[in-house]
Structure 1
């Protein structure tokens, strides 16, 4: 969860409208961050059923797994 927060903060500094970023891109970033935080607390996937090139949360091992092939 700290990786998600750190990545969000890093991107928010770039895309925030107060520092010259685009308001629409910041809004999308904020929505994605909120969804990821909810999902990280209650993950929906428990097996390696995932989309290619997307990170996956393994509920049994309580950790994130790298993208498939």
Structure 2
């Protein structure tokens, strides 16, 4: 199945034309605003890829809490 997403400026320029699978396997610095320094810090937490970052239980919990806070106003 083909999936099309417009990520706008969410990805580093080097990853804008990559497939979803390639982006998920890329280091966190594939996301715009993150650098290789962030890669090293996140690697210490066991996060070595964009997929690791997106499936990390702490990042998911923080995202859920932030969304709940926004709904409360």
Q: Which has the higher helix share?
A: 2
Would the TM-score normalized by the shorter structure come out above 0.5?
no
Q: TM-score by structure 2 length? A: 0.27
Q: TM-score by structure 1 length? A: 0.29
Q: Which has the higher strand share?
A: 1
